[in-house]
Amino acid sequence: MNLTIPPELHHDLLRVESLLRERTRARLSVITLVDSHLITDPSDRLRALIVLAIARLGHHVDEQVAHAAAAVELIQAATRTHDNLIDEQARRRGQIANGAWDHGVALMVGDYLFALAAGEMARSPDPRIIGLYSQAVMRICEGQLTTVTSLTPRAAALAVYWQRAEALSGALLSAAAQAGVLCGGLPESLLEPAARFGLHLGLARQLVAEIRDLEADGARLQTGHVPLALLLAADDPLDPVLHAVFTQPTSMTVAAALPLIRAAGLPAARNALSEQQAAAREALDRLPVGATTRWLTDLIQQIDG
């Protein structure tokens, strides 16, 4: 999703980009060795923009909001680095990945980015932001340790799916939205709807990514990712085609399973996406109207655009 930057946030976002460049300059060559776009690609600064946009709904926006926005982007980069080390297929089979040199470098880069994020948190305008981001990181770590190990029983598999999705796709956006409340000097009572807005926005983004992948070629499915539509298509007794793609996701098993997943799972997954978008709108309606409200509203609508 290409993000359109509202004029009200241009200056703040430029300050965030400046902070990210300044903080990572000393180790940029090592960071880009792990992922050349990890920090240098500004095309998706959604978490920072959420902090900035919700802060702009307040009457007073502390100039230190840029530190809170930079911190959440550094956390995102760190968690992405660590998450890339995990082999979903191997983990479901109870196997542990080997400690290759490149894995060791990626692990150290992730830790380094977490340390940089801690420094930006300390410079944020409200000390409660440290707690918000720390809790989000703990939830993300829990999500990385959680995986769907069986398609049946369906209720148990769905419970694990949503627990993992909320941690990996919703926790950081939820914390970013709450940080915006604090940076904007908004009432503490708005922390809860802000958190819900970020959570449901993140879940909607995950669902649309899964749906688009299944409508295309199932490339993410082949890497071991378990989409909601696969769980919704699974029944007891489990179709051997779905069992095969879950246990051994190859180009052949994915190609065989896609028609069944599309027919039996995608309609319900699309309904779940609509429910997440509606929940995000409801939460946003509880926040004050301001200069960036229209952009936040459009953000929800554009997810499946």
Nearest to 218 by CA among 245, 200, 180, 184: 245
Overall pTM surpassing 0.85 (yes/no)? yes
Band the pLDDT of 81: cuts 50, 70, 90.
confident
Residue 227 region, left (φ>0) first, then alpha (ψ -120 to 50), else beta?
Answer: beta
* Predicted pLDDT at 95: 45
Band the pLDDT of 98: cuts 50, 70, 90.
very low
Give the whole-angstrom CA distance, residue 238 versus residue 240: 6
Band the pLDDT of 84: cuts 50, 70, 90.
low
Asked, as a colleague might, if the bond just before 237 is cis with ω within 30 of 0, I would say: yes
* Predicted pLDDT at 103: 66
Question: Which whole-number Å values give the CA distances from 136 to 130, 157, 169, 224, in the listed order?
Answer: 10, 23, 11, 24
| Residue range 133-148, pLDDT digits in tens | 999 999 999 998 899 9
Residue type, 44: D
Residue type, 235: D
Give the CA count within 13 Å in the CB-facing half-sphere of 64: 14
* Predicted pLDDT at 101: 40
Token digits for 55? 């802060």
Asked whether residue 149 carries a pLDDT value surpassing 90, the answer given is yes
Token digits for 23? 């903080």
Dihedral sign for Cα 168, 170, 173, 176, please: negative
In DSSP notation, 109-146 reads HHHHHHHHHHHHHHTSS-THHHHHHHHHHHHHHHHHT-
Domains with residue ranges and CATH for the chain: 7-302 (1.10.600.10)
